[in-house]
Structure 1
């Protein structure tokens, strides 16, 4: 009797293929689908391009720094003709980045490095409509900028909560890497609260989402389609993506955006200490069971920490109720705390645990001053840049505290240049109204009448004098 022959190898192969297919089907069901999320979020994502004018005018290129004010004698007796600037047109460099709409009335968030130094900012939406954007304010420390376009009922993106993030969660990005518009890339959160050498006040989100030039300023989104970060930096040795990208948490970014919207600049808390990390040997020498905290190596005498009695050698373990595991944690916690707030600082001093109450000051800028109030010449009808007259300017310009007003820091084309305003002039009155802040300056200049003689009181080299001018419609 003959029995049927069974192809054991084929039978086993079929079972294996069936098993593998089932596993792949299960795995595919578990993998997230980003298509609907990207489709819903893309209308609120924008492409940003910028234009920058040549740093010198055509006259300056030909005749040097005094070309714009070439004396009449050179023209009359030497026959020199000043050509029109159009003869010196140069290609204007463009930069390309991303951003996203945070409110339907036209406010857009992006990176500072995307728009820094731009004379003109163009925003293009998903439906191909384009707008010229105004720079409301920028913050170099966090690499954030707030833009505004003149439009209503725009598609605003949904905001998430970056404090709820955990390593391992799926996230995705939308941007224009290398100019390829509305590219979607995905990955997971690799780590939280990363401190980078160039940015000590931002607790970065680290991801493995592919990010390349052009993604900067674009949104990092969670699986609910909400923005939880702003793609800002990558770690690379090749110039392209290498598996490490960093995003600014949306909670920190919105705090910056609100300040930029309200006053045009950002203030941060300031403790007034120089710190270093605590390694194993330092922990042992200070009587700690393990390395943690921020070791104070220097205290600025008149700063908040010095006033509160903190000393070199103190190790800060908790600040405002938050643990300080690494020294890099402290600047981020201090910077996000409001100026003037009184906080508790838990520390170890000579083996003993102490708690100090510290009222935070305002973080000075890179030159040691607090952030100045600034008005861009593109935003006012006089075509000038002005800053608030502070003690630093008073010392440089040789005026005492009896003088108050705004310092002219740059003169562009417009009424200001026409009437002879110069850098270093101090404007104290416009149209018989005192100007003691940038906000007052904005309000007064905006309401100045057209085709009517207007007076301005200006202090130059310590001497006050009135000048007059007219504004066109």
Structure 2
């Protein structure tokens, strides 16, 4: 009886030792296996490093985009009472607008979102492309709107800012509803325009068209259809070299100005 009891005890001890060893072996072996890339992936697939992080898109809330942009969008007034819009392009106080907004004048009044008034001087204007630049010394050093150097696509969300009918700080929303549109509105020729669904009206001219996710400028609002809510915006990337040229070397003689 004692002999059987002793044999049973020895067998139990052996089984316990084997179990403990097996548990440690499986734990150590499997933890290493879990860190290895899966063999289920197709051959040639790229497996990211463990510390690799996803690329983040710099998107913002719409209300934050609007609040930030409105500080850099201005109303432009002429002595004859006509109005338009514009936006800060660089830290030299240069404002981008449409040529038809400031045509025939040298100086205009610039009104900011907080109702400050400054004198602006036209330093560049085209007679065939509806683009002009106004320099406002009182706005030097202000942070400008960011420019997006990518072509917008149909369906992208947009924001149109400006002063339609004199209503300051107006924002309308929509999408890019068409691209590569051409128009002729004497004396200007409009090529490769964005068609937009965001409603715009007289006074919006020269205001920025913003990308709805990033707040970057993608266009200059320039014309609206008489029928329906169809507007047209000049892609900023198409005219940026002209604008930069005027900022670097302002025009001395303006067309139509004595």
1:322-333 aligned within 5 A = none
Separation in structure 1 between the aligned mates of residue 154 and residue 137 of structure 2, nearest angstrom: 39
1:363-374 aligned within 5 A = none
- Decide whether the 8 Å contact of 1:50 with 1:119 is kept in 2: no
**Partner residue in 1 for 2:238:** 252
**Partner residue in 1 for 2:143:** 155
**Partner residue in 1 for 2:225:** 235
- Decide whether the 8 Å contact of 1:194 with 1:206 is kept in 2: yes
Cα deviation for residue 137 of structure 1 reads 1.2
Q: State the number of aligned residues.
A: 194
TM-score normalised per structure 2: 0.70
**Partner residue in 1 for 2:3:** none
Specify which of 176, 180, 191 is matched with residue 202 of structure 1.
Answer: 191
Cα deviation for residue 141 of structure 1 reads 1.6
- Decide whether the 8 Å contact of 1:46 with 1:100 is kept in 2: yes
- Decide whether the 8 Å contact of 1:162 with 1:229 is kept in 2: no
**Partner residue in 1 for 2:204:** 215
Which segments of 5 or more consecutive residues in structure 2 lack a partner in the other structure? 1-59
- Decide whether the 8 Å contact of 2:106 with 2:121 is kept in 1: no
Cα deviation for residue 34 of structure 1 reads 2.2
**Partner residue in 1 for 2:15:** none
Cα deviation for residue 201 of structure 1 reads 5.5
- Decide whether the 8 Å contact of 1:102 with 1:108 is kept in 2: yes
Cα deviation for residue 227 of structure 1 reads 0.5
Cα deviation for residue 35 of structure 1 reads 1.3
Cα deviation for residue 193 of structure 1 reads 1.2
SS in 1 for 2:87: strand
**Partner residue in 1 for 2:37:** none
Separation in structure 2 between the aligned mates of residue 134 and residue 211 of structure 1, nearest angstrom: 26
- Structure 1, residues 29-54: CA drift from partner, whole Å, max 9, x if none? xxx95211101111111111011xxx
**Partner residue in 1 for 2:78:** 50
- Structure 1, residues 103-125: CA drift from partner, whole Å, max 9, x if none? 12211100011111235301111
1:80-229 aligned within 5 A = 93-118=80-105, 120-151=107-138, 152-163=140-151, 165-198=152-185, 199-200=188-189, 202-222=191-211, 223-229=213-219
Runs of 4+ with >6 A deviation: none
Cα deviation for residue 184 of structure 1 reads 0.7
Quick one: structure 1 residues 48 and 201, their matched pair in 2 at CA, closer, same or farther if it must change by over 3 Å? closer
- Structure 1, residues 413-471: CA drift from partner, whole Å, max 9, x if none? xxxxxxxxxxxxxxxxxxxxxxxxxxxxxxxxxxxxxxxxxxxxxxxxxxxxxxxxxxx
SS in 2 for 1:256: helix
Separation in structure 1 between the aligned mates of residue 171 and residue 204 of structure 2, nearest angstrom: 10
Separation in structure 2 between the aligned mates of residue 98 and residue 205 of structure 1, nearest angstrom: 18
- Decide whether the 8 Å contact of 2:183 with 2:190 is kept in 1: no
1:15-94 aligned within 5 A = 34-51=62-79, 93-94=80-81
- Decide whether the 8 Å contact of 1:221 with 1:228 is kept in 2: yes
- Structure 1, residues 96-149: CA drift from partner, whole Å, max 9, x if none? 111000112211100011111235301111222221011101012221111101
- Decide whether the 8 Å contact of 1:48 with 1:124 is kept in 2: yes
Separation in structure 2 between the aligned mates of residue 118 and residue 96 of structure 1, nearest angstrom: 13
Pair member with larger Rg? 2
